[in-house]
Amino acid sequence: MGEANRTGGGNDTGVQDLDELRKISPRRAGSEAERRAARHLEKRLQELGREARIEPIRVRPDFGLTYAIHAVAGVVASVLSVYAPLPGLALAAATTISAFGDLTGTFELVRRLMPVRASQNVISEEDNGKPGLIVLVAHYDAPLTGMLLERRLGTWPRAVIISLSVITICAIGRVLGISSTPFTVIQFIPTVVLIAVTPLFVELAISNTNDGAADNAAGVATALRVAESHSGRLTHFNLTVLLTGASAHFGLGMRAWLKENRKNLDPEATAVISLDNLGSGTSAYAAKEGPILYSHMNPTLVEMVSDSGAAYNSTELSDAYLVRSAGVPALRISTTERGTEPDPDTLARVHDFTAALLEKIDEEIGPELG
């Protein structure tokens, strides 16, 4: 499937959408700027001739403080286990379980201690009586600027969960009476790791928000262009546009949407395509994603784009990761150079790449839906 030439003169519209959303900043999750962006996008979808609505959600987006608490609790558990093994083990196990649930998007424990913020998803649905559903997703909030979010530190979730797990195992050993010097050294290493990352979590909690050009105003602008070019034009699939709030980190908007809609999504007749972090280079797709355990994207969708896009692996907990973990076919589309200044020609190619995928889904899977 090659990247078809469908852009024509429409690229100017995409650049304009990108610039307009970029000006609404800082689009931090739960902020007034994010709310203004949602109202702007609702109006923009209506201008494209689509029905659109804003769906309010409640989120806890402060993950810097969330993981600072996890790290400190892990250090305390490690020290406590030396003097009081059972309480130390209880604290270590609870902290590890909480971190694992949060980092996989399955449940929240410590995060429930964080302040609740109001956010919103922008939803535009089609109801043309077609048997299939394609959901085009892009988050419109902007990410934070903390040092921990640099690509070279992208493995921090695994470092945290491994450190907490080792401390828990060592705490079990303490309960069993193990206290040798080598054992103490093994326990000391992950404790130091948690001490080292704690200031980074605190710095992240107080960091600024960037303008979110590549991540993800460019994704939103491209989603709007695909909606403009393909609304009502697929033979077998309705096209829903879902612009998620509070999803730059940990997919909180997508979690809320899945909570309300998962039971209505037929895995045999649904495909979710996420446009996320579009910079420069060429079209790319995530073959697998996950901050701790990799989740492979849907193999059928991957096969459809494997000959025209570059594959990469992501350690993020994105909207696509959450959808795939929920058992619904999903694919994340990005670019080879993520996090860079969005290139208009690249965005045009991503539009064509995404449009070709939608058409191929319609042509190859649609007739099987009856």
Overall average pLDDT of the 111-136 stretch:
96
Query: Which is nearest to 258 in space by CA: 36, 70, 55?
Result: 55
- CA dist list (Å): 137 to 140, 152, 217, 276: 10, 27, 12, 8
6: left (phi over 0), alpha (psi -120 to 50) or beta: alpha
Min mean pLDDT across 5-14, 38-47, 163-172, 249-258 is at 5-14
Query: Which is nearest to 303 in space by CA: 321, 316, 285?
Result: 285
Length of the chain counted residue by residue: 370
Q: Is the predicted pLDDT of residue 339 greater than 90, yes or no?
A: no
State the Cα–Cα distance between residues 81 and 64, nearest whole angstrom. Answer: 26
pLDDT (tens digit, 9 = 90+) per residue, 171-225? Answer: 999 999 998 888 899 999 999 999 999 999 999 999 999 989 999 999 999 999 9
DSSP for 26-55, written as a single string: ---TTSHHHHHHHHHHHHHHHHTT---EEE
Indicate the DSSP class of residue 176: T
Structure tokens at 338: 């993520």
DSSP for 124-146, written as a single string: E---S--SEEEEEEEE-S--B--
pLDDT (tens digit, 9 = 90+) per residue, 58-101? Answer: 999 999 999 999 999 999 999 999 999 999 999 999 999 999 99
The gap between the terminal CA atoms of the chain, to the nearest Å, is 24
pLDDT of residue 11: 66
Q: Is the predicted pLDDT of residue 233 greater than 70, yes or no?
A: yes
pLDDT (tens digit, 9 = 90+) per residue, 259-302? Answer: 999 999 999 999 999 999 999 999 999 999 999 989 899 999 99
